[in-house]
Structure 1
Amino acid sequence: MSLWYIYIMSNKFNGTIYIGVTNNLEERVKEHKLKIYPDSFTAKYNCNLLVYFEEFSNAEEAIVREKRLKKWKRDWKIKLIEDMNPDWIDISDNWNIDFNRLRDER
């Protein structure tokens, strides 16, 4: 059984918000941080902080949740983030991944 995730990336506290869905959160966050897709929204707005995520047991549930969140008012999204992560810290900092080293290898 693979897990699915909805996640929110941002560029700073109370900044630009990007909502996505994936079945490999660590790899997807790496792609955002390394700007693998340089023309993407997250690359353009430097959304490289993982500030929120939820876990799901199947893709359908995760996709429904992602679509629902994207329709929310900004204030609701901010409250959702701040209920879990009031300081908007980068949750992926705890993953012990050296993104600078990975950037150099590209």
Structure 2
Amino acid sequence: MAHFVYILASRPGGALYTGRTCDLRNRVAAHRAGFSEHTSRYKIDRLVWFEEHEDFATSLQRERSLKRWNRDWKIALITQSNPTWQDITAQIPS
């Protein structure tokens, strides 16, 4: 089963949220529906980066690592693969 680590943003350079899930499409939909207090409060609903992992342990380790990163490193990670900070929900594998 695939596991995903992802970053949502409110806008380019805006508020960020880092998370992990095994169902990325539904998790993004839940954020957009306001089920997460933090993402709802700061209007964080744009999927700007994600990566797929083969197992739970690897995804958990990566999520914890990213959460310790400073903001500039996260912005660089996003900008490297998505320089215009477009929503990439359509790129989620089926």
TM-score when normalising by structure 2: 0.93
Question: Runs of 4+ in structure 1 displaced over 2 angstroms?
Answer: none
Alignment of 1:22-101 (within 5 A): 22-37=21-36, 40-92=37-89, 94=90
The structure with more radius of gyration: 1
The percent of aligned pairs where both chains have the same amino acid is 37
- Mapped partners of 1:73, 1:36: distance in 2: 26
Per-residue deviation, 1:24? 0.2
Superposed CA offset, 1:12-59 (max 9, x none): 01000100000000000000111124xx11111010000000000001
Question: Runs of 5+ in structure 2 lacking a partner?
Answer: none
Number of aligned residue pairs: give it.
91
Per the alignment, residue 18 of structure 1 pairs with 17
Question: Runs of 5+ in structure 1 lacking a partner?
Answer: 96-106
- Mapped partners of 1:43, 1:25: distance in 2: 17
Per-residue deviation, 1:66? 0.4
Superposed CA offset, 1:49-105 (max 9, x none): 00000000001100100000010111100000001100000111x37xxxxxxxxxx
- Mapped partners of 1:11, 1:76: distance in 2: 17
TM-score when normalising by structure 1: 0.83
> How large is the Cα RMSD of the aligned pairs?
1.0
- Mapped partners of 1:80, 1:21: distance in 2: 16
